[in-house]
């Protein structure tokens, strides 16, 4: 079967599977997704079209190579060989994940395989100081590479291509620039298997448990890391069928907020048995909410405004954007606000299809978010596929407005030098399946519906992907970066990592700042 025919068959199969999933209708009183536009001050390089869009014209004439900025400027950068899906930072360091040796076996022959350690003690001149070569770090950690700040630990499970099994690496990052693997055997980087299935993961607030989710069938594993030299599985089960995703926690670690896929939503779980290490632990569902049968919640960030608890939930599929969920009653979570960029509105589906064809698996989708403070947050910063880093003022969560953005220069033509970038290696060559359907958005929150014109454009574009690759034999056109890692507030800066541009230090300008 030819490559184009294989992709068309894959798309058709996915359409049939999704069509069978049913739909979920958000409440009628959910506010529209409209978000106020940023007012860009001096030194900005504003977007040339819709909010969040890198228009086809810019991708064709090279304007996208300059990037777009509004009230954020680049201070320093370490691009290296690119990065994979989630690359966290801690103290003065960043940890640039890799797509892994299962996707690109040639990485094993590199001078610096695995996760790259970058020291940004001088934010204007970040430098690589080490590389991490535990089994998970080499295979690829996808969305599981996470920092536990209090215990100064870095952990991640072996994922490779979508979902993996077997390994969980733990590093001491007390000296953030020179991590030390704690669960290795006899001075090597080898270790005993201590995970079931992994795709996503996160630490409990006390740092004594690492939770891994495997996406497939809702698999979930709890690993006891009270002794990080000898992690042990203390629970494994299924939660969030048919597919689970990111995990976040209440402050005491007894409640787990599980993002779900197909349908996109959040499930609230009582995990106190695991947290207290009961001999035969059980997980109990407290409540749940969904919004779109065809979307995929990424993670559910717990915050509070005025003493009232909420979750901020970015969604990586179907242009759903971000949902704010009231969990005052955890048995009945309630969606109170949706945030969408203009390019994500249902009316702009055809524009999205034209813009993103040839740039890989993900269209204009939100991914990971962070707040300046979990109590009465003022600023919300989120990484997006193709739309860059977006910053919103959420002082009033019912009236969010964008205040800054930074969409880095496209790295078209550089795919072969970005071996660690999942976007540049394979991910950018896959069809854009994240946005096959369009949710009710922009001016209402109707039941999800199929936009036949958009799907038609998508299918018609499949044969041209290889022809228009432009960035190398495995890269796609790389016409807009994928900024999928969680941003981190560091004073009046944002520390971010995008797959193609690597690690970047961004400075707020024109009076936009958490301290203002």
3-state SS assignment for residue 396: coil
Q: State the pLDDT at residue 186.
A: 80
Q: State the pLDDT at residue 508.
A: 99
Q: State the pLDDT at residue 4.
A: 37
Q: State the pLDDT at residue 464.
A: 56
In terms of DSSP H, where are the helices of 223-281?
A: 272-275
Residue 413: left if φ>0, alpha if ψ -120 to 50, beta else—which one?
Answer: left
pLDDT tens string 342-361 = 999 989 998 998 999 889 99
Q: State the pLDDT at residue 461.
A: 58
Q: State the pLDDT at residue 17.
A: 34
How do strand 334-339 and strand 322-326 relate by DSSP bridges? Answer: antiparallel
Cβ pair 313, 323 in contact under 8 A: yes
Q: State the pLDDT at residue 189.
A: 80
- Mean pLDDT, each 10-residue run in order, the chain (516 residues): 37 35 42 88 99 98 99 99 98 98 92 98 99 97 98 97 92 99 86 87 99 95 97 96 97 99 97 98 98 95 99 97 98 98 93 92 97 98 99 97 99 94 90 69 40 56 52 77 99 98 99 86
Q: State the pLDDT at residue 266.
A: 98
What's the start-to-end Cα distance of the chain, in Å?
A: 59
The closest of 400, 376, 399 to 390, measured between CA atoms, is 400
Give the up-direction half-sphere exposure of residue 294: CA atoms within 13 A in the CB hemisphere. 23
3-state SS assignment for residue 137: helix
Neighbour count for residue 432 (Cβ, 10 Å):
27
pLDDT tens string 172-189 = 999 999 999 999 988 778
Neighbour count for residue 444 (Cβ, 10 Å):
12
24-508: CATH topology: Methylamine Dehydrogenase; Chain H (2.130.10)
Match 């900024």 to its residue by tokens: 483
Contacts with 49 (C-beta within 8 Å, 6 or more apart), sequence order: 55, 57, 58, 343
Q: For residues 136 and 288, give the distance between their C-alpha atoms in angstroms, rounded to a whole number.
A: 32
Match 């597919």 to its residue by tokens: 243
């Amino acid at each position: 079967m030819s490559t184009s025919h294989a992709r068309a068959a894959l798309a058709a199969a996915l359409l049939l599977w999704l069509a069978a999933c049913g739909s979920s209708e958000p409440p009628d009183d959910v506010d529209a997704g409209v978000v106020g536009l940023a007012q860009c001050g001096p030194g900005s390089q504003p977007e040339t079209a819709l909010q969040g869009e890198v228009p086809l014209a810019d991708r064709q004439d090279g304007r996208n190579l300059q990037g777009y900025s509004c009230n954020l400027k680049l201070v320093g950068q370490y691009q290296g060989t690119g990065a994979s899906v989630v690359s966290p930072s801690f103290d003065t360091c960043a940890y640039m994940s890799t797509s892994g040796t299962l996707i690109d076996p040639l990485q094993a022959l590199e001078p610096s395989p695995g996760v790259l350690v970058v020291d940004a003690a001088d934010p204007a001149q970040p430098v690589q100081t080490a590389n991490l070569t535990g089994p998970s770090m080499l295979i690829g950690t996808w969305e599981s590479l996470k920092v536990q700040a209090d215990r100064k630990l870095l952990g991640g499970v072996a994922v490779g291509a979508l979902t993996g099994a077997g390994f969980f690496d733990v590093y001491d990052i007390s000296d953030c620039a020179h991590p030390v693997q704690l669960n290795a055997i006899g001075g090597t980087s080898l270790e005993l298997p201590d995970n079931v299935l992994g795709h996503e993961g996160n630490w409990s607030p006390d740092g004594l448990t690492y939770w891994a989710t495997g996406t497939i069938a809702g698999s979930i594993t709890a690993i006891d890391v009270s002794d990080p030299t000898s992690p042990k599985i203390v629970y494994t089960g299924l939660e969030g069928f048919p597919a689970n995703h990111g995990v976040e926690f209440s402050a005491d670690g007894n409640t787990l907020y599980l993002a779900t896929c197909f349908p996109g939503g959040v499930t609230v779980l009582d995990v106190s048995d695991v947290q207290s290490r009961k001999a035969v632990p059980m997980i109990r569902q407290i409540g749940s909410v969904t919004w779109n049968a065809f979307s995929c919640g990424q993670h559910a960030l717990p915050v509070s405004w005025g003493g009232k608890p909420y979750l901020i939930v970015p969604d990586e599929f179907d242009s759903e954007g971000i949902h704010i969920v009231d969990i005052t009653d955890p048995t009945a979570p309630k969606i109170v606000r949706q945030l969408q960029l203009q390019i994500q509105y249902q009316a702009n589906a055809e524009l999205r299809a034209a813009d993103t064809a040839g740039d890989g698996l993900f269209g204009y989708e939100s991914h990971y978010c962070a707040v300046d403070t979990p109590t009465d947050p003022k600023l919300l910063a989120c990484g997006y596929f193709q739309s860059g880093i977006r910053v919103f003022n959420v002082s009033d969560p019912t009236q969010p407005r964008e205040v800054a953005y930074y969409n880095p220069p496209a790295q078209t033509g550089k795919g072969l030098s970005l071996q660690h970038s999942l976007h540049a290696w394979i991910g950018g060559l896959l069809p854009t399946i994240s946005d096959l359907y369009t949710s009710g958005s922009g001016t209402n929150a109707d039941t999800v519906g199929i936009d036949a014109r958009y799907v038609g454009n998508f299918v018609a574009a499949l044969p041209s992907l290889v022809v228009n690759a432009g960035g190398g034999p495995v890269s796609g056109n790389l016409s807009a970066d994928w900024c999928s890692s969680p941003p981190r507030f560091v004073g009046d800066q944002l520390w971010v990592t995008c797959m193609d541009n690597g690690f970047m230090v961004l400075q707020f300008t024109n009076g936009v700042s958490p301290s203002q």
